[in-house]
Structure formats: structure tokens, C-alpha cells
Structure 1
């Protein structure tokens, strides 16, 4: 028999086998096929003694990023493990800590480079004598159900493989070790972010609801804030005690959160105070725009997306929504007016005072921990007392006009001086006139490039002149107001005189 006849025989046999398998699959039940699959897998496991555990990047109905995946990512990015990988991904370390597996200088946003495992890469780890194999995987995401929630384009996950004899060691010791160490590395190297909620929302499209962010790089600290030193020290001590009070809050049965109400005239440093809080505690900042939130349900969903170690900020709370004690009365409108503005009213936020209170200290506020809720307002008297009572806004901090102690802080920041002969005159003027720290800082700022190297007397003189002009304007304004009041009284008396004379004549 020749070679051609032999290959022809094999081809005929293979074709017959494929035909028989197709007939089997068509006429026999799926249950039998599933049973055969189960037995086949058992046969494979008999000769393949390794167990695999996967850590998915996104989990849950809303597809939130898994904390376990993030911890594994940080753990594997450490230099002691990622140095064994051949394919790596590089990114700038915005924190400048340079704790990745490699570092170098560059002109990018950071001075160090973070290296992490690339897709389809594998590294080997060891723990208590056991060898463990980590691989970074990516695959197309297959979705067989219709969902209103967004889904990532690809499925990313880490796969951990190990011999089955190490199962108890991995489950009870190794995985907790990886998650704890990865979380610690992530907190050390994390870059703080400034979040804002999206301005559009559709109840049928979750993708329009959520937070977008940028890197938070505000340089403010409590040392640079123009405020009484004792008051600053009290605030700093309170913040540090809160950040270390996890066990205390658990013992007294309260959610680990604290409310701050910052109030005072515009330009007194409320936003700067928030930035200093974030820099002191190393917290992210969530700037919540209430007018962009559709309703109370959307507000709760935003709350669930906020991580721990966060400052939730609602600036100018008196202007965000109608949250004052006196509710606006419904005004009568003609049919034409209703048709004209009806579509605009539908777009307005339906967040209520009750919904905001639940957001602050209701049951939903306990979802998560280590959070500060900060309100700012220029007119504290306009706010509903229920909104700012103790227990919701635990600390009420008034940021008022600049005093002499605050001026000295600004003089040290802007001019680098602690004493000057003009300080006595400035102190006297500050006692006579209210001026905000923002106005003081503006006058201490050199107006021209050439003034930077000039004596500090130029800047101090600018401030003295501004204080004197502000004082004169105030006096002139009071005189004009007084003259207007007198003229109004005289006018009222003159208008009432003729009617009085007529009554007498009658």
C-alpha cells in the first residue's frame, strides 16, 4: 500500500469520526454532554494539581472597581516582585514617592516612574515555602444580558495559581497578606484627587451619573492660612483626632464622619481652609454640585461612589438649593408663563432638604468611613437650623476679616518678613477697618515684575494706602446713607402735611 493510499484511509476515518460526533451531538441530550464534560474535567484535575483564583477588576451590579483587584495591583507593582517581569507598563508617579520598581528623572508631571505588570505577563512569588504564580490577564467582555449600567470594553483580572497542597495556606494566610500589604502600598503611593459630579443625569443611563476627577495639587497648608494661631491649632488637633478615631467612633456607635460648617464674608479663606484640611489629612476632595443632581436617589448613588479618606464639600450651600427655613411660596402664573418655563423647571434639581439630611447623617451616610462633610456659606443665618445643628455640622468655624495676627502670617508668606516699622500703623488701621485676607494678600502681591526685588516697603505702602482708601470710602458711604435717610424722612413729612391741613380745615 502506497503513502497516498494510507493518507486517504486516515482522512476517511477522520471524516467518519467527525460525522458520528455531529450525529451524536444532534440526537443525544445536552445533559449527557454536560456529564461527559464534568468527567473530562475531573480527569484533567487528576493529572493537573494546580488551583486557580481570579481577582476581577470590576465586580457587582454597578461594576465598581474591586478593592481586592487594586490591592493585588499595588502588591505586584512593588519592586521585589515586578522586577521579575519582562513586559512592564510605565507611568509617572505623580506623588513623587518613587516607590515603584524603577525610577528615573524626567520632565513629566512627576520626578519618578512607576512600573507595573503588562497584560499577559506572569511573575512568581514565594510565601512560607510555597511557590505562587501571578498572571495579568485581559479578555473581551461577553455580555448576554441587557443592562442600563455601563460596562468596560475588556475584562481584566489577575490569576493566582498554586499547588493544591497549599490551599489552606493561600486561603488563610497568603491572600490576607497580599490584600493588607497591597492596601498599605496603595495608600502610601496614591495620588490625591479632586472630584466633581457630572453635570448631566439621565435616570435611564447610569453612565451620565458619577464622578470625574483631576489631580489635587493645591499648595495650601495651615501654616500659610491667615488666622489666629490658637484657633488654627485647635482645628488641627480636632482633625488629627478624627483621623485617628476609628476605634472611638466604633465604640460609641457612630459612623466615622464629622461635619464642618465654614462661614464668613467672601474672601476670608473658606476654600483655602478646605485645601489645607485635605493636605493635612491626605484626603481626596469631592466637590458636590447639588444643582447638577437630579433627585434624592441620584444623590444616594453619588454617596455610594465616594471612597474613604474623603472630604465631601458643598460650597455656598445657601445658594445651591432652597434649603432655608422659609420655603419659597408658589407664585401665580398665567398659562402662557407655565408653557414658557415648564420645560426649564423639569430640568431643575429635585433634591430636598430631607434627602440632603439623609445624605449627611442618615442610614446612607454610614456606607463608608473616614469622611468629612464640609459646608461653606456667606450667610449662615439663611440656612435651616436642622441642617447645621450639632451632630450634622459638628464644628462651626467662623472665618472673619483679617486681624493683625493674620496679617503677620501673610507678610511672612508673601514678603518673608516678621517685623517692620510699618507694622504698627497697619495694626492700627486693621483695628479700624474690616478687610478680608484676600484683599490683604492682593495688596502684598507685587504688581510689576521689577517690584519683586524692590524693598518690601512698596508692598506695605500699597496695603496702607488701600486701608486708608477703604476707610474713607466707608465713611463717605455712611454719610451718603445718613443723608439719604434724612431726605426720605423729610419727604414723608412734606407729603403728609397737605392732608393734615385739609383735615384741619374740614
Structure 2
């Protein structure tokens, strides 16, 4: 009995060893088959054409789609050859950042709430959460379940290039059952884009942009613009200007911002040009800030001397979004664009060799390139833009640059008048009437003084003693006006004396030649 039991135990051990060997042989067989498949795939990719591989890939995907009922739509962050950031991607990003959708995500990104005060950061700002990379959320629409995922993938480059490697590829992927295809294409995606755009505008921070000095239009990775938050407090209520003139400018700006259908109907790009001219200190930059605050537009401060050529200028234009004010300050000093169109000066070969290296570093933007930037075909790329030129000497500008149709409104910002003074007195001193106002009005009618000089004299020096500060500030302004008159009179006397001396000198120089003619 004992011997039979021993034989049974040994037989069971033998069977177990045989089964283990069978499992090991099975795994070894699978490993060998996988290695063979990988080897054959590598040989196939090396010796067979890419066209055949693509065709096989297409048929393989068709086979997968027979068993996989979901459709996927990808929203890339950058599209086109110029790699412009996609408006659809930005709308989807804003849509998914809404609290009703982002609350289902496990991995989130935190940022300051960009609505409210406009600063977009700081201890008093609220925190908003959005999806992090490789996260997924579920949305519902008309009974359909839709799956959004945020993806990031590095772009592989198989060629050697002297330019920096391309940035990572970011995209959103929308997955849904194929029976909801018509619903998603016709209703859901337009709903996402419209709501995302509205959320983006609500959370939008107004920004002040400037073009980068090291910008290279051939390097698509470098952005042409850098920005900070735009926080200038100027409004049309605080600008020292005649009320009727201010009201006319405000009405024109509001009409432009609401004129999308009008511009489309008349066949013109949705843009408008403003030329602000006048002496220094008359409030041209303040006027631009008031325009931006009135219309809630971004400001793009374009420095022409930092633009390499006309091609780079067009690239900068393409990167400007809608709802923007494009500013070229002191246009008469930016480049050789002032005065009449000049013929190029003839230079010898030695002069060209001498200064050639310096010229390569300077901007090669031409008047023609700037005109195309303002109202050429490229200016129609985008909409709802104001182009603002400022200058201290309007007579120096080429007429082709400031003609109607390019600069639609010519606004002169001149010296301070009494109406402008009353605005500044209300802003700086908090007063509407004073016994010295009559004297100041009489002096302002006789003398030229800029609003900046008036504001400096009205700046209270003693905040605690307001009443005394008002009296002192108004007295200082009267003194400044009196000194301004003396300086003007002195300048006129010097100018008259110089003119007389010049006439006398011309007569004296002409006298000898006349005598010589008589002698002959």
C-alpha cells in the first residue's frame, strides 16, 4: 500500500514538471515568434517602398475601425506653414477650462483669474484651474457622451539643421461614438467654439506688445512679439481736450468697433487709421491708451527700426490678433520715411564696401513695405484693427503715407486751452471753480503751453494741506504762463534779429559783385 502511494506521488511530480516545461516552451515559442515578426518588420521597412507601407497601414486601420466604434477629431495648437496658433485650439482650451468641465480632471494647471481688474495676477486675484497634459474629461451634449484629452508629443526630426529643434506638438483629441457623428459635426463643435470664444473674451487680459529686437522671420519658433499686461488708467474723461472734439472721436471709435457688417458690405478690410500730430507733451500717447481702454483692445507698439525687412514686417502683421491697436510712434523719426520720396544716392564701390557691413545690421523696411502693411493685401489678414501714427512734425511725412484711406482721421493735439485746463484742474485738484480761473483763462488765450506742463504745475506738493496746495498750484501755473510769454517774446526777438542780420549779410556779399560788374 505504501509503495503504491509513493509511485502515485512520483507520477504526479513528473506530470507537474512536464507541464512546467510545456509552459516554458510555449513562452519561448511566443518570444521567438515575436522576435521573428520584429525582424521581418524591420526588413520590410528597409527594403520595401514607403508607398506599400502606407497602403498596408490604411488597410490595417480599416480593419481596426470594423471593431472600434469611436471617431477621433484632433485640434492642433499650431496650423499652417507659418505655425500660427490655431483659434480653434484656443477656443477649445477656454471651453475646457470652465469649472463645470475641468472639475472632473485629476491633473490640473493653476493660473490667476484673468477677468476682473485687468491685472491678471496678484494676491487679490482668484485662481482658475484647467486640464494638464495627458488628462481626460468627459462632456455631455444632447444625450451624447464626448471624451476630451489633452496630449503632448515631441516632434521628431530626422534631418540635421542649424535651427533650434521644433517645439513639442500639443493638441486636444475629441472622441465620440460614430452614431453621434452628425450631432458632433453640425451642433457640438460649433457650440464648443462659440462658447470657448466667449469664455476667452471674458477672461482676456489686455496686453501691451512690442516686437522683439532679435526676431528672425526665418526661425518660426521665435515669436515676433513680447508682452506685458496693459494697465494704463487713461480715459477720455481725463484727457485735456475740448469736450465736443472728444465726443466726436469717441463716437467714431464706437462706430468702428460695431461696423463689422458695414465694412463687409462696402468691401473694405475692417480697420481704420488715425494720425495724431502736435507738439511734444500734448497727450498723443495718452490718447492711444484712452482708445485702448474705451474699446478694450490690445496695443501693439511697433518699433520699425527693429524690423529686419519687409518680409519680417508682414510676418509680424500676421501674428497680430483682432481687437488690436497697432501703434507707430514718432513715425517721422522711425526710418527714412519722411519727406518726399527720395531717389537713392549714388555711392562709389569703395563707400559701399566701407559701410556695407553696417547697412546689413540696419532695418531695410521701405516706404512701399510700410504702405502695404497699412492698406495692402496683407492688411486684410485679420480684422478689427486700428493703425495709429504719431508725429511731432506732420509736414515732414510723405503725403502717400498719411492720405485719406490710410490715415482716415487726422487729429491735432495742440496746446492746452481753457477747457482742457478745467479738466486737468478737476483731475488733479478736485475743483471746478476758483477765483484765479479768470486770470488763467486770459493767459491761456495769449500763450502756448502744453497739457503736460499744465499738469506738472497742478500736481499737489502737499497732500495734507489741500486748500493751500490748490492756491499754490494755481499760482505756480500762472507764473509758468508768465515765464512762457517772456520766453516766446525773447525767442521772437532773437529770430527777428537773426533775420535782419542775414539780410544785411546777403546785401554786403552782393555789393562787391555788383561793383565788379560795373567796373567791367
TM-score normalised by the shorter chain: which range applies? Answer: 0.7 to 0.9
Distance 1:254 1:89 in 2: 42
Q: For each residue in 1:228-258, what CA deviation from the matched residue of structure 2 results, as whole angstroms up to 9, or x when unmatched?
A: 0011001000100011011111111111111
Q: Per-residue deviation at 1:152?
A: 4.7
- In the other structure, the counterpart of 1:291 is 305
Q: Per-residue deviation at 1:185?
A: 1.0
Q: Per-residue deviation at 1:43?
A: 4.2
**Are the structure 2 counterparts of residues 169 and 422 from structure 1 closer, same or farther at C-alpha, using a change threshold of 3 Å?**
same
1:384 aligns with 2:384: no
**Are the structure 2 counterparts of residues 104 and 424 from structure 1 closer, same or farther at C-alpha, using a change threshold of 3 Å?**
closer
**Are the structure 2 counterparts of residues 151 and 239 from structure 1 closer, same or farther at C-alpha, using a change threshold of 3 Å?**
farther
Q: Per-residue deviation at 1:49?
A: 1.3
Q: Per-residue deviation at 1:297?
A: 2.2
**Are the structure 2 counterparts of residues 170 and 20 from structure 1 closer, same or farther at C-alpha, using a change threshold of 3 Å?**
closer
1:251 aligns with 2:265: yes
1:416 aligns with 2:430: yes
1:86 aligns with 2:86: no
Q: Per-residue deviation at 1:143?
A: 3.4
Retained in 1: the 8 A contact 2:216–2:312?
no
Q: For each residue in 1:354-377, what CA deviation from the matched residue of structure 2 results, as whole angstroms up to 9, or x when unmatched?
A: 222222112221111111111111
Retained in 2: the 8 A contact 1:224–1:409?
yes
- The aligned length equals 500
Question: Which moved further from structure 2: 120-129 or 203-212?
Answer: 203-212
Distance 1:243 1:203 in 2: 31
Question: Which moved further from structure 2: 13-22 or 304-313?
Answer: 13-22
Retained in 1: the 8 A contact 2:154–2:169?
yes
Retained in 1: the 8 A contact 2:299–2:325?
yes
Kindly report which structure 2 residues correspond to 1:11-90, keeping only aligned pairs within 5 A, or say none.
38=58, 40-90=60-110
**Are the structure 2 counterparts of residues 150 and 168 from structure 1 closer, same or farther at C-alpha, using a change threshold of 3 Å?**
farther
What's the C-alpha RMSD, in Å, of the aligned pairs? 3.6
1:307 aligns with 2:321: yes
Retained in 2: the 8 A contact 1:134–1:160?
yes
**Larger radius of gyration, structure 1 or 2?**
2
Retained in 1: the 8 A contact 2:113–2:120?
no
**Are the structure 2 counterparts of residues 444 and 119 from structure 1 closer, same or farther at C-alpha, using a change threshold of 3 Å?**
same
**Are the structure 2 counterparts of residues 136 and 330 from structure 1 closer, same or farther at C-alpha, using a change threshold of 3 Å?**
closer
Retained in 2: the 8 A contact 1:294–1:348?
yes
Q: Per-residue deviation at 1:23?
A: 8.2
Retained in 1: the 8 A contact 2:340–2:397?
no
Q: 1:176 aligns to what SS in structure 2?
A: helix
Question: Which moved further from structure 2: 160-169 or 451-460?
Answer: 451-460
TM-score normalised over the length of structure 1 = 0.88
1:162 aligns with 2:172: no
Q: For each residue in 1:293-342, what CA deviation from the matched residue of structure 2 results, as whole angstroms up to 9, or x when unmatched?
A: 22222222222221111111111112222223424465566666544323
Q: Per-residue deviation at 1:484?
A: 3.7
Q: 1:453 aligns to what SS in structure 2?
A: helix
Q: For each residue in 1:161-212, what CA deviation from the matched residue of structure 2 results, as whole angstroms up to 9, or x when unmatched?
A: 1111101100110001000110111112111111222224556444567222
Q: For each residue in 1:95-149, what CA deviation from the matched residue of structure 2 results, as whole angstroms up to 9, or x when unmatched?
A: xxxxxx9999998276222211111211111111111111111122223467898
Retained in 2: the 8 A contact 1:132–1:162?
yes
**Are the structure 2 counterparts of residues 499 and 47 from structure 1 closer, same or farther at C-alpha, using a change threshold of 3 Å?**
closer
